[in-house]
Amino acid sequence: MSANLPEEDLSCPVCCEIFQDPVLLPCSHSFCRSCLEHFWESTVIRSCPVCRRRASKKSPASNRALKNLCEAFLLGRGQGSASGSNILCWRHGEKLKLFCLVDQEPICVVCQASKMHKGHDCSPTEEAALDCKYKMTAAMKALQCKLEIFNKARKSSAITLEHIKGQAKRVERQMKNEFLKLHQFLYEEEEHRLSALKEEEERKVAAVKNRDDDNAQRISSLADMIRTMEQTINAEDLTLLQNFKAILDGTWTTFQAPEGISGSLLNESNHLGNLKYKVWEKMQAVAPYSPVILDPNTAHPCLTLSDDLTSLRYSTPNQGLPSNPERFHISAEVLGCTAFSSASHGWEIEVGDNEDWILGLASERVKRDQEVPARPENGFWTICLRDGQYRAMASPPTAVKVEEKLQRVLVQLNWDRGEVIFSNPSRQEILYTFKHVFTEKLLPYFYTQSKHPLRILSKPVLVST
């Protein structure tokens, strides 16, 4: 039915185009909603653009019936007018020969002259198609790059997941081994202390029994003497007088009354007093304290860390490590796991036969994805052994004189005073001192390209009350 209606009956009186979202005024005239609103913006009184009759202040109602007719008309015209590869304008039935650069859509010559596209820059469809293909090709390449980045991210996620699972299994195994050692120590310590208790019990019981046996013998002797005296007393007078001196001068006068002996009971305080503390104090032999623990999540793939995370050495690269942001990716570096931002701290490193190392402190913000000199301007305060020479990595590097090959290096940080001191603990001499006003957290820093390990030495735990 809509195909039989003349096009002018389905055209807006304002823009002369097929109605788009038509609205109906009380005067029965219809307009495109946008055309009516644009007309009302230029007038003081809201009125009909055709008959000038005043309209209601309320938003005009949509003319759904007219909208359906327009859509049916445009659909029928578009289907009936398509020819080969030339798609016709759905508004005017003309060939789409131009491309509006403002609205980014193909239009016909009538559209170019209409109010909708009047004054807009246009170009021929062939030329516009080439430009659009070029832009879409560039956009597609950018999307392909992003796609590749996301694919790499997914692969990295898969590697990270596998690494986390491996970490969990390895840490669980090591934790069980450590607790097994503690359990074994506690079991042996328990057996030792119970054995000491049993030994003291046997010794004290034996001593009491010996005293008791001695007293039993004395009781028997005294009883015999008493019976002798009773017999003598009941004997004839001459017999009593004959034996009197011998009986009174006998050994019974030498018997002394038994006395309580101190220390005969078990020393409970020795066995129970501060028992847990004594065991803990003795446990330090199997549970040493390390002032610095290495962070394996920062370690370069070429570094191998010990199970207790207190030593490192250079080795074959581990290809299965995830490329996480905390990790050093260029050179064989690793950081400690605890950051310092106040007070004083110190730790001792055994360098031994290692001939290629850098030790010290680094800012938590040092770059992990590029190689930079380990100097203060880059957030490092370090000394090194390289090519047989000891240097303080200042700006410029400064030679450090030592009388003999260093076996250990003591690193001391006084964050509040802004000092990093390196010294030789065997000779108690300072090698070099950095001075700096620290504003960021600092982390212990280690570097090596030697198969000989660097070891962080344990420290005794001192308890004060």
Q: What ranges do the domains of the chain cover? A: 1-81, 168-283, 296-456
| Mean pLDDT of the 392-406 span | 92
Give domain 296-456's CATH superfamily. Answer: SPRY domain (2.60.120.920)
Residue-level pLDDT at 68:
82
The pTM (predicted TM-score) of the whole model is: 0.64
Per-residue pLDDT tens digits for 76-117: 665 554 443 457 888 888 888 899 999 888 999 888 888 888
pLDDT of residue 79: 54
pLDDT value at position 292?
96
Domain 1-81 classification at class level: alpha beta
Torsion of CA 175, 178, 184, 190, to 10 degrees: -90
- Give the whole-number percent of the chain exceeding pLDDT 90: 50
Averaged pLDDT, 18-38:
88
Cβ proximity of 34 and 17 under 8 Å: no
Using one digit for the tens of pLDDT, what is the confidence trace for 414-465?
A: 999 999 999 999 999 999 999 999 999 999 999 999 999 999 999 888 777 6
Residue 28 pLDDT grade (very low, low, confident, very high; cuts 50, 70, 90): confident
Supply the mean pLDDT for the chain: 88
Please, which residues bridge with residue 429 across strands? 424
